[in-house]
């Protein structure tokens, strides 16, 4: 009787688990690329950009100091003394208004309110200061009612007034902005005061970093510039 060949441990047509995959299985990516080269290139490009973006992102430098805010002695909406020292170590945005303003002031205050909401939403530790250019009318009580009605967070937004001479020294001499005398509009009791509509960014040392408009582009710029100044302050620059 002739000897039988040993039985195979694998069924016919099956590949042992230790055997390498066929060439056609090992080259699945090549086949995919050959069939859809543009689609594959697109996804590879998107992946590369996503990985590289954090390493190539450029954060703009904070704006340079233009000049310093001088010392001043005023009062806030609670009748408490308010001066430059009170803002030492804080980054703040200043605006100039008066509560009975019939023209530009409501837009200025709405713009500052929008900044307040953005600062709160994105946890930006900046403050807002509204300086009255009509100190004879805008007493602390009047300013407090105005701020409360507006929806201001008085823990981070102050409304400031003082006697006219002190306000003129700060607005005209300090910030280099206009502040005219009240002028009647017509036969009614309404009057207007010509003054700047710009918002001013001030750093933690009282350095003025820029003047910005209250339109959408201006608000977007001051919002980002504020973060740049805060970043440099935290880094000790």
Q: Structurally, what CATH architecture does the domain formed by 67-234 represent?
A: 3-Layer(aba) Sandwich (3.40)
Q: Where are the domains of the chain?
A: 23-56, 67-234
Residues 24-63 as b/e (b if ≥16 CB within 10 A, e otherwise) read eeeeeeeeeeeeeeeeeeeeeeeeeeeeeeeeeeeeeebb
CB 37 within 8 A of CB 31: no
Q: What is the per-residue pLDDT for 236? A: 84
Query: pLDDT per residue over 143-196, tens digit each?
Result: 999 999 999 999 999 999 999 999 999 999 999 998 877 665 555 455 556 678
DSSP string, 146-158: HHHHHT--TTTEE
Q: Are 109 and 150 in contact (CB under 8 A)?
A: yes
Q: What is the pLDDT along the chain (237 residues), one digit of tens a residue?
A: 445 545 544 455 566 665 555 555 556 555 655 666 665 566 666 665 665 554 444 556 889 999 999 999 999 999 999 999 999 999 999 999 999 887 889 999 999 999 999 999 999 999 999 999 999 999 999 999 999 999 999 999 999 999 999 999 999 999 999 887 766 555 545 555 667 899 999 999 999 999 999 999 999 999 999 999 999 999 887
Identify the pLDDT of residue 191.
Answer: 52
């Amino acid at each position: 009787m002739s000897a039988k060949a040993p039985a195979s441990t694998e069924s016919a047509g099956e590949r042992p688990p230790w055997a390498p995959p066929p060439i056609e299985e090992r080259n699945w990516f090549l086949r995919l690329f050959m069939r859809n080269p543009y689609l594959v290139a697109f996804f590879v490009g998107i992946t590369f950009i996503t990985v590289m973006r954090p390493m190539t992102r450029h954060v703009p430098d904070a704006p340079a100091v233009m000049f310093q805010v001088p010392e001043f002695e005023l009062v806030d909406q609670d009748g408490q003394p308010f001066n430059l020292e009170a803002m030492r170590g804080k980054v703040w945005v200043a605006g100039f208004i008066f509560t009975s303003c019939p023209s530009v002031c409501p837009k200025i205050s709405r713009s500052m309110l929008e900044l307040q909401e953005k600062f709160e939403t994105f946890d930006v530790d900046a403050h807002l200061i509204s300086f009255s250019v009509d100190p004879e009318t805008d007493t602390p009580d009047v300013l407090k009612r105005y701020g409360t009605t507006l929806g201001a967070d008085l823990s981070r937004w102050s409304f400031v007034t003082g006697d006219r001479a002190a306000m003129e020294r700060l607005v005209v001499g300090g910030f280099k902005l206009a502040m005219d005398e009240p002028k009647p509009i017509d036969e009614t009791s309404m009057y207007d005061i010509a003054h700047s509509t710009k918002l001013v960014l001030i750093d933690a040392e009282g350095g003025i970093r820029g003047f910005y408009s209250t339109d959408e582009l201006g608000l977007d710029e001051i919002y980002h510039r504020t973060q740049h100044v805060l970043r440099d302050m935290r880094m000790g620059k």
